[in-house]
Chain A
Amino acid sequence: AQKVTQAQTEISVVEKEDVTLDCVYETRDTTYYLFWYKQPPSGELVFLIRRNSFDEQNEISGRYSWNFQKSTSSFNFTITASQVVDSAVYFCALSEVNRDDKIIFGKGTRLHILP
């Protein structure tokens, strides 16, 4: 069965610290996609990144980076030099090519960046 686990329910760090949000997934499929979404306090949900199962290259976008490791079924998200504007709930999600048509979200990690 599909499953996405974000074990960290809530994290608080002081501004400028680095922080990593964990995402562990379960799938029987060999072809799948992983996503991260951000939900700031204003409530909207915003796409951050997509990664397919055949591309294990790490991705960096400014202060954000993502580490995809198939060996550990993880797709972790790191924010470097965090800022108050990074405070949000972050969701990891999984979709499979050959299974049913659902997209499974983790329960989210609420990140507090303290000034």
Chain B
Amino acid sequence: EAQVTQNPRYLITVTGKKLTVTCSQNMNHEYMSWYRQDPGLGLRQIYYSMNVEVTDKGDVPEGYKVSRKEKRNFPLILESPSPNQTSLYFCASSLHRVTGELFFGEGSRLTVL
């Protein structure tokens, strides 16, 4: 089954404790992206990757890091989480950045205390 898998789905952590949200897709998609969803703000892009070893900032990259060492994986790293990073996070992938529809993971709800 074609899918994007994120883990963990739910996480409560404390300020400053590094965490990683994993994302994996099994569709051989080149494009992958991370979004955060906040009430009233819609979906905002954090980072994206056009291919292996190619990553770039989206609209709200501060406080986040990503890597793309393999085509299927695109982890999101919060080196020192802060309460303003409490949000619902979605990973997505697409065959082509411009023309392809995005396939989304189920979302990861993160709470930073």
- Chain A positions near chain B (C-beta within 8 angstroms): 6, 9, 32-33, 35, 37, 43-47, 50, 52, 91, 93, 95-97, 101-108
A105 interface neighbour in B40, B43, B98, B106, Cβ under 8 Å:
B43
Count of chain B residues near A, Cβ 8 A: 25
User: Is B104 a contact of A44 with CB atoms below 8 Å?
Assistant: yes
Q: List 27 A-B contacts (CB under 8 A).
A: A6-B42, A37-B102, A43-B106, A43-B107, A44-B107, A45-B92, A45-B102, A45-B107, A47-B101, A91-B42, A93-B102, A95-B98, A101-B56, A102-B48, A102-B58, A102-B59, A103-B33, A103-B102, A104-B45, A105-B35, A105-B42, A105-B44, A105-B45, A106-B42, A107-B40, A107-B42, A108-B42
How far apart are the CA atoms of A96 and B98 in the complex, in Å?
Answer: 6
How many Å from the CB of A66 to the closest CB on chain B? 14
Q: Classify the interface of chain A: helix, strand, loop or mixed.
A: strand
Specify the main secondary structure of chain B where it touches its partner: strand
Q: Do B45 and A102 have beta carbons less than 8 Å apart?
A: yes
Our pick among A43, A91, A101 for the contact of B50 (Cβ within 8 Å) is A101
A91 → chain B closest CB, angstroms: 6
Point out residues on B near A: beta carbons under 8 Å. 33, 35, 40-45, 48, 50, 56, 58-59, 88, 90, 92, 97-99, 101-104, 106-107
A35 CA to B102 CA, complexed, in Å: 9
CB-CB nearest in chain B for A44 = B106
Min CB distance B38 to A, Å, is: 10
Smallest Cβ-Cβ distance to B94: which chain A residue: A103
